[in-house]
């Protein structure tokens, strides 16, 4: 849905959510091109990793978070999570009175138009098993060969800030070498946590092989808000609020590898505590 209601207007905040710090890679890109907007970020650290959860669990968690954003009067919500975009977006896309942006569907056309024939996708297990990237890209380009691979340990490596340990580096390298057997011309970092690992990945393959879809996603969001008359009319607001469902201290530590938090994350849980 895309209408304004009594609770929101073009100066209302934009909500972001993910299972933890990953969505900050998207917030970061959006903030660069929309510096006057207000943002509310929710990291569902209690239920992280989303990539191992069932569709019904992901629906339950996402609905709670989306209701929270509704109560906060958000004008738009960014599903800064490939896993929920791939698995549950279609089930809830018409249920809310704000613009809802899913990362996978929003960038699929741009990926499909890349001048290449072989595309790798690194993502979570749930994203890969849903086939969402393949299906969405196929709508625009049926010729592109898309190779999906999940990397079960990467989200934990990012959330626990252990990317520089020898064990983590070997895990990342082994997963990358497996993907390289497909000879991809580009590899999409199809989980918002993975751009935190770009420096490690770039030690084993050229940096320009990796593609962070957040860059195009941010442009897409800006264009859509513009078209919908929803860009803020005030200058230099840029307030940011952060909420997490567990371990605010660890969130802060992991986030700061990538993003400078302007305020401390607040602990906030909903009814579904398991």
Distance between CA 154 and CA 150 in Å, rounded?
9
Minimum distance between the CB of residue 158 and ligand DGL, rounded to whole angstroms?
9
Burial class (CB in 10 A: 0-12, 13-18, 19+), 107: buried
Tokens at 91, concatenated: 């089930």
Residue 18 binds to ligand DGL (criterion: CB under 6 A)? yes
CA atoms within 13 A on the CB side of 100: 23
74 is catalytic: no
For every residue of 81-129, DSSP letters joined together read -HHHHHHTHHHHTTSSSSEEEEHHHHHHHHHHTSS-SEEEEEE-HHHHH
The verdict on 50 binding ligand DGL (CB under 6 A) reads yes
Site for ligand DGL in 130-159 (CB under 6 A): 155
Q: Specify the residue for token string 């990953």.
A: 22
Task: Say if CB 196 and CB 25 are below 8 A apart.
Answer: yes
Candidate residues 15, 22, 195, 248; the one interacting with ligand DGL per rule CB under 6 A: 22
Residue 49 within binding range of ligand DGL, rule CB under 6 A: yes
Work out whether 51 is an interface residue with ligand DGL (CB under 6 A): yes
- The smaller minimum CB distance to ligand DGL, of residues 61 and 232, is found at 61
State in angstroms the smallest separation of the CB of 53 from ligand DGL.
8
Alpha-carbon gap, residue 192 to 4, rounded angstroms: 28
Residue 127 binds to ligand DGL (criterion: CB under 6 A): yes
Quick one: 192 or 232, whose CB is closer to ligand DGL?
192
Indicate whether 19 belongs to the interface with ligand DGL (CB under 6 A). yes
- Closer Cβ to ligand DGL, 13 or 23, answer by number: 23
> What's the min distance (Å) between Cβ of 45 and ligand DGL?
9
User: Is residue 211 close enough to count as binding ligand DGL by CB under 6 A?
Assistant: no
SS3 category, 180: helix
Smallest separation (angstroms) from ligand DGL to the CB of 110:
17
Separation between Cα atoms, residue 68 and residue 80, nearest integer Å: 16
Q: Which stretch binds ligand DGL (CB under 6 A): 143-151, 160-168, 188-196, 219-227?
A: 188-196
72 binds ligand DGL (CB under 6 A): no
Q: Which is nearer to ligand DGL, 211 or 230 (CB)?
A: 211
Rg for the chain, CA atoms, rounded: 18
**Is the separation of the CB atoms in 102 and 94 below 8 Å?**
no
C-beta neighbour count of 122 within 10 angstroms: 26
Catalytic residue among 27, 48, 151, 191: 191
Q: Which residues bind ligand DGL (CB under 6 A)?
A: 18-19, 22, 48-51, 81-83, 124, 127, 155, 191-193
Q: Which residues are catalytic?
A: 81, 191
């Amino acid at each position: 849905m895309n209408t304004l209601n009594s609770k929101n207007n073009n100066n209302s905040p934009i909500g972001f959510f993910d299972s933890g710090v990953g969505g900050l890679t998207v917030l970061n890109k959006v903030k660069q091109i929309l510096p006057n907007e207000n943002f509310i970020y929710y990291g569902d650290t209690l239920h992280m990793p989303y990539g191992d959860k069932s569709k019904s669990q992901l629906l339950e968690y996402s609905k709670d978070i989306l209701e929270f954003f509704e109560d906060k009067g958000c004008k738009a919500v960014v599903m800064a999570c490939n896993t929920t975009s791939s698995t549950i977006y279609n089930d809830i896309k018409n249920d809310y009175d704000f613009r809802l942006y899913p990362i996978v569907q929003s960038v699929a056309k741009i990926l499909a138009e890349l001048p290449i024939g072989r595309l790798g996708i690194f993502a979570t297990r749930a994203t890969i098993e849903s086939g969402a990237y393949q299906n969405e890209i196929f709508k625009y380009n049926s010729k592109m060969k898309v190779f999906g691979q999940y990397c079960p340990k990467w989200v934990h490596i990012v959330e626990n800030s252990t990317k520089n340990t020898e064990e983590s580096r070997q895990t990342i390298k082994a997963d990358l070498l497996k993907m390289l057997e497909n000879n991809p011309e580009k590899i999409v970092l199809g989980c918002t946590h993975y751009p935190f690992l770009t420096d490690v990945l770039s030690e084993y393959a050229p940096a320009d092989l990796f593609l962070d879809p957040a860059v195009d996603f941010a442009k897409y969001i800006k264009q859509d808000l513009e078209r919908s008359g929803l860009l803020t009319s005030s200058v230099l607001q840029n307030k940011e609020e952060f909420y997490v469902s567990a371990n605010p201290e660890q969130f802060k530590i992991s986030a700061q590898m990538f993003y400078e938090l302007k305020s401390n994350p607040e602990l906030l849980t909903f009814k579904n505590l398991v």
